[in-house]
């Protein structure tokens, strides 16, 4: 009997192209890169740059004597950034598309019950997100839960949006619109929506191998954005190149985006990129999560230091979702081979 004709026998991995395996490695790198960056930044949150350890000493476990944020949280634990990103991924995978109500319920479950939080423990949540989650719990519609004034442009929806770019396989216009839509339950202002849409286009261009993924993303955003929904003035604010000289690792969504670009432009490997993001100080976990997601796409899972991959806690939560995502990318290629 020729076993290759038996439908119950999986095809050997060798039948899949190197390009397929590389794509899956980079997608796994994007998701794990976000989570590692988040976990790496957790102990340094709220510290200005001048108070941080030397660049080479930035690690899951800070040097002795450093006054770490969230002191009771074990090293290698992702925070709200990673948990909310996994909420989005789980919703996409289980619903087969973006379902605003389902995603919003998962966000509430994260905060109330520790859903997709390591150890079931929630230890970090932004004030704007908390206000929106309280409104959702009280029965507000997802489209009405978040304050939408200009001063409410934190980075809480940008930090979680990357899984959409990894999962999505339709055109850029649809990806941008869906990324903006996932921002609405907690960050409804159009500026945060645009930042999320741009970030997903940036991630897609990076995954596609563009030499200048940022510029490719900007061109796509400007080409596809409906000005009646995404005003050109707001796009110009998000993409104002003068921001490159003003980065500070803050919680403002535009600064977070440009701080991530600063780290990616400065360094040439995953480890130094996330360290450079953290070295800006302040909202270190989110800056490193946003930069780490793109760096993971650029350098692949293999480019993330093994000590950080192995030291990342919560693999029992992550691995089933990552396997399901990888199975969607190239069905049949063993997922474990791509996620390490």
pLDDT of residue 163: 98
Q: Is the pLDDT of residue 1 over 50?
A: no
Q: How confident is the model at residue 329 (pLDDT cuts 50, 70, 90)?
A: confident
- pLDDT tens per residue, range 285-316: 999 999 999 999 999 999 999 999 999 999 99
pLDDT of residue 326: 95
Alpha carbons 269 and 202: distance in angstroms, whole number:
18
Which residue intervals of 239-305 are DSSP H helices? Answer: 253-266, 270-279, 284-299
- pLDDT tens per residue, range 151-206: 899 999 999 999 999 999 999 999 999 999 999 999 999 999 999 999 999 999 99
Alpha carbons 24 and 6: distance in angstroms, whole number:
26
Alpha carbons 300 and 206: distance in angstroms, whole number:
11
CA atoms within 13 A on the CB side of 70: 25
Superfamily designation of domain 24-55+78-323: ADP-ribosylation/Crystallin J1 (1.10.4080.10)
Mean pLDDT value across residues 110-116? 98
Q: What angle do CA 48, 49, 53 make, to 5 degrees?
A: 110
pLDDT of residue 332: 73
Mean pLDDT value across residues 268-289? 98
Question: Residue 97 — φ and ψ, nearest 5°?
Answer: 170, 180
Q: Is the pLDDT of residue 36 over 80?
A: yes
Q: Is the pLDDT of residue 12 over 50?
A: no
Q: How confident is the model at residue 17 (pLDDT cuts 50, 70, 90)?
A: confident
Q: Is the pLDDT of residue 15 over 80?
A: no
For residue 248, give the 3-state DSSP assignment: coil
**Segments making up each domain of the chain, as ranges:** 24-55+78-323
């Amino acid at each position: 009997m020729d076993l290759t004709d038996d439908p119950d026998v999986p095809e050997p991995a060798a039948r899949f192209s190197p390009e397929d395996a590389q794509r899956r490695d980079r997608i796994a790198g994007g998701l794990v890169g976000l989570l590692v960056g988040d976990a790496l930044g957790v102990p340094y949150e709220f510290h200005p740059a001048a108070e941080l350890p030397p660049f080479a000493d930035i690690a899951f476990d800070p040097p002795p004597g450093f006054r770490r944020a969230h002191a009771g949280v074990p090293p290698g634990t992702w925070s709200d950034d990673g948990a909310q990103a996994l909420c989005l991924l789980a919703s996409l995978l289980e619903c087969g598309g973006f379902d605003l109500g389902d995603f919003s319920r998962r966000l509430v479950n994260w905060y109330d019950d520790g859903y997709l939080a390591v150890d079931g423990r929630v230890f970090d949540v932004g004030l704007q997100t908390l206000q929106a989650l309280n409104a959702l719990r009280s029965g507000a519609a997802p489209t009405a839960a978040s304050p939408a004034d200009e001063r409410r442009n934190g980075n809480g929806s940008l930090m979680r949006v990357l899984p959409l770019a990894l999962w999505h396989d339709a055109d850029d216009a649809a990806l941008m619109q869906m990324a903006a839509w996932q921002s609405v339950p907690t960050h409804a202002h159009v500026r945060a929506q645009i930042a999320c849409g741009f970030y997903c286009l940036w991630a897609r261009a990076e995954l596609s191998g563009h030499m200048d993924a940022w510029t490719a993303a900007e061109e796509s955003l400007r080409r596809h954005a409906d000005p009646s929904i995404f005003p050109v003035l707001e796009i110009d604010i998000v993409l104002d190149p003068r921001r490159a000289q003003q980065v500070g690792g803050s919680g403002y969504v535009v600064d977070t985006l440009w701080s991530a670009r600063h780290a990616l432009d400065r360094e040439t490997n995953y480890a130094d990129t996330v360290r450079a993001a953290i070295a800006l100080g302040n909202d270190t976990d989110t800056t490193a999560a946003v930069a780490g997601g793109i760096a993971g796409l650029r350098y692949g899972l293999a480019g993330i230091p093994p000590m950080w991959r192995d030291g990342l806690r919560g693999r029992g939560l992550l691995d089933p979702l990552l396997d399901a995502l990888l199975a969607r990318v190239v069905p049949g290629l063993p997922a474990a081979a791509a996620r390490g």
